[in-house]
Amino acid sequence: MDPARVPAELWLDIFELLVSPADLHSIIQTSRKFHNLAVRALHRHVIWRTPEAVVHNLPLWDASPGMEPFVHTFDLGVSSLPGGISGRIIEANGEVDDHHAYPAIFNNASNIGRLDTTLSYYNLRSKMSFASNDLHEIMFQRIMSFSNLSTLKFHSVIFFDKHFELIHALPQLRSLHLEYCVFQNFSSSRVFNHTTLPITDLTMLNLRRRIIETLDQQHVMLEENIEHALTLALARNLRSLAIDSTADVVKYIYGAWDADVRGWVVPHNLEQLYIYRKETSLEEVQLMLPGESSFPDFTLYSVLGKMPMLTTLSTFHLAPAHNIIMPVLPLLRNYAGPVDSIERLPGRPIQALGLFKCGTGSRDGVGTLANVKLMFPSSRCCRWSSRLGTMRLSMQLRHCFPVSAA
């Protein structure tokens, strides 16, 4: 067939099947027609982690009109600074002002001061540059035009009402990921009804808290209420939720003492719950928040009873022996957790197990694993962590299951 007679839509479908950006770059150089089509495919996944990247990429959208509907995944790590806070500012034309500060708003001095302290404490000013107000506005207008955006990721972003407005303005949004973000003062934030969001997948990890006051290098006063972010977990269409101790929606939203009064309901069709231990990084300042040492606490086991559709549960935490959680999860088929906890899953038609060693000696662990296949005859896959196991445990697993080792 003559390539010239192939419809552009078909070529675009073909190009979107190419995973490697290098392949798309090669296609871009072959002809003007392929250039215009491959550029659209190349920008189905857009990453703007720095203001400099935004300045470099923005002209392409004006030079190639019509690309916006083809963007499906967007990763944003760019913030602006409110008045009264100085930082390295990148202008819309690419010019740099290393110590710029917009005029402060007098009636917002307390909030500005706390945000300034927060940026200093987390060393964000030394690691990041910020978009000027003009660049930030242009950037948001462009993002708003990505009408078919299905996945949105925020990393190290200073959240304001504008970010929540963006989330609510994307009708095709299904997956939302927040990590290392700082949020504006709760009392200054607008109230958003997150239950109406179309998202089905939500991940919130390493959420930062604003610093009220630095007492010394190790002791600070924190502003703990980030309810306006945690209530994203109330989206009624939510199917999958991943959290760590910095985003304990189980305790502060689903299990809040006034949840019923406030209409905070666990999404009925929630199928997957992933509870992670907070990861530490040498490159990031991470505080121990109040209550983190006991995460997840007993609230989890009462809230699980409100998740009748749950099919997948992953947690690093060893459930207490007296809990009555598992009998209330009739559809549970996939489980990941400490080896010891599988004895609390009696009679379950578990199809996939993820195991790691916790709480008992090696000999006890071997005895537990020896019974895994007997306990779960329908299980087809077992994944375990070799870092927390032993060679003897490995052999036991390999005799029982088609095992994959982490």
* Domain residue ranges in the chain: 1-42, 333-406
Q: What is the pTM of this model?
A: 0.84
Residues recorded for the chain: 406
Q: What are phi and psi of 369, to 5 degrees?
A: -65, -30
| pLDDT score at 205 | 95
5: three-class secondary structure by DSSP: helix
Q: What are phi and psi of 189, to 5 degrees?
A: -90, 150
Q: What is the DSSP letter of 320?
A: P
CATH fold, domain 1-42, is Monooxygenase (1.20.1280)
* C-alpha torsion sign, points 378, 304, 270, 162: negative
Neighbours of 4 (CB within 10 A): 6
Spatial contact of 272 and 280, defined as CB atoms under 8 Å apart: no
Instruction: List per-block mean pLDDT (blocks of 10 residues) for the chain, which spans 406 residues.
Output: 59 58 58 59 81 91 81 93 86 86 58 82 86 94 93 95 95 96 86 96 93 71 86 97 95 94 96 89 74 83 90 80 62 83 72 66 56 71 54 47 47
| pLDDT score at 388 | 42
Neighbours of 207 (CB within 10 A): 23
